[in-house]
Amino acid sequence: TRIAVLKERAAGETRVSATPETVKKFIALGAVVAVEQGAGDGASISDEAYREAGAAVGPLETVVKDADIVFGVQGPDAALLAGAKPGVWLTAALDPFVKRERVDAYAAAGVEALSLEFMPRITRAQSMDILSSQSNLAGYKAVLAAADAFGRAFPMMMTAAGTITAARAFIMGVGVAGLQAIATARRLGAQVSATDVRSATREQIQSLGAKPIFVESVAGIEGEGAGGYATEMSEEYQKAQAELVSSHIAKQDIVITTALIPGRAAPRLITDAQIATMRPGSVIFDLAVAQGGNVEGSVADQVVVKHGVKIIGYSNTPAHLASDASALFARNLYNFLSAFWDKEAGKPVLDEEIGNAVRLTQGGKVVNERLLG
């Protein structure tokens, strides 16, 4: 099996889909690995380091030529895969709902596209789950970015010049990113509260030493929710949630929003009127800014100041932690393909449950249920 590791072409993408560590491991499975020159630049991995791990390093055409599997962090243009074997696998975070035209182009080009963010949220696939590995880092970075933009300190400090009070941080959406945001804000010394629509998160919030803030008058989503995911909430719930947020948010210094709904625009959690009740100098970090935003007025990669409140959010938060994000992404991809490596065939052979979940295109057609449904 010939594996090609591409240099990312999307603006602001610093990550890379294989590291010298995973290159070695794929070679140990019997694969031949070629890395596009400069692929690791953004993650501080040199071409030399890939060569030392046993990869060939070269320009795009030679790397992709006769490839059986092409690795990316984000999806490349289908045209870049010309020269690969017919039926070449492409494994990357393909953002299929948003980049649907590109998925169609993969089908037309005879590429078998596997979308890593469609990995099912099941126990045996946890180690393959890029959404989790990247969200975890994003939750951490969001708190650091908010702390950096904040004109005050997080912890309470008793100094000879007087005491400064601890910052109050409110985390909205307690999935993987939100849990890490709670933990990070706590480590920095903030007083932390958090909310979610899924009732299962209440205990998780408490166990991290934060205060749960929940809508009590209208039922949220019992337990984990379908597949662990939230759905769009009823109008009644949204109204109750807006009232709750309004009364809580005015006392907060830092708000981190992380709420996503798969396949839809992110839910609006904070309105401009609510921002107006916050103290000047407060900071909101909108982790959902690239999915439409949880916060009214947030703009990706800009600091927007409204009513004296700074609203920030990155279009690609994991890319701000390129080395760790690449290391974990690369391991997820290795854990995925190695789990299905068929020694006799000398290549991965997917099972139905995971194969059907991640496969978008096959035999010239779009085949994924979530895209056809």
Total Cβ atoms within 10 A of residue 321: 20
* Burial environment of residue 127 by CB neighbours within 10 A (0 to 12, 13 to 18, 19 or more): middle
Instruction: Choose which of 78, 172, 278, 325 interacts with ligand NAD (CB under 6 A).
Output: 172
Catalytic residue, chosen from 37, 47, 95, 121, is 121
CA distances from 209 to 181, 184, 259 (A): 12, 11, 21
Q: Give the nearest distance from C-beta 220 to ligand NAD in angstroms.
A: 8
- Considering only 90, 174, 213, 333, the residue that binds ligand NAD (CB under 6 A) is 174
Q: Tokens at residue 74, please?
A: 């984000």
Subset of residues 132 to 171 that bind ligand NAD, contact rule: CB under 6 A: 132, 135
How many chain residues interact with ligand NAD (CB under 6 A)? 32
Binds ligand NAD (CB under 6 A): choice among 107, 259, 275, 330: 259
Helix, strand or coil for residue 67?
Answer: coil
Binding segment for ligand NAD among 84-92, 125-133, 140-148, 301-309 (CB under 6 A)? Answer: 125-133
Between residues 165 and 217, which has the closer beta carbon with respect to ligand NAD? 217
Q: Based on the residue annotation, tell me whether 121 is a catalytic residue of this protein.
A: yes
Asked if 99 contacts 122 with a C-beta cutoff of 8 angstroms, the reply is: no
The residues near 335 (Cβ < 8 Å, ≥ 6 apart) are 127, 128
Nearest to 8 by CA among 71, 69, 65, 58: 71
Q: What is the CA radius of gyration of the chain?
A: 22
Q: Contact region for ligand NAD (CB under 6 A) — 37-45, 115-123, 152-160, 274-282?
A: 115-123
What is the pattern of x (binds ligand NAD, CB under 6 A) and - over residues 179-208? ----------------xxxx----------
Q: Which is nearer to ligand NAD, 152 or 268 (CB)?
A: 268
Q: Tell me, yes or no, if 132 is annotated catalytic.
A: yes
End-to-end CA distance of the chain: 33
Q: Does position 295 bind ligand NAD by CB under 6 A?
A: no
Beta pairing class for 283-286 and 254-257: parallel
Q: Which of 126, 207, 247, 302 is catalytic?
A: 126
**CA atoms lying within 13 Å on the CB side of residue 144:** 11
Per DSSP, the three-state class of 359 is: strand
Q: Judged by CB under 6 A, which of 68, 112, 129, 253 binds ligand NAD?
A: 129
Site string for ligand NAD, 221-240 (x = CB under 6 A): ---x---xxx--x-------
| Binding region for ligand NAD (CB under 6 A) | 121-123, 125-126, 129, 131-132, 135, 172-178, 195-198, 224, 228-230, 233, 258-262, 267, 269
User: Catalytic residue numbers?
Assistant: 121, 126, 129, 132, 229
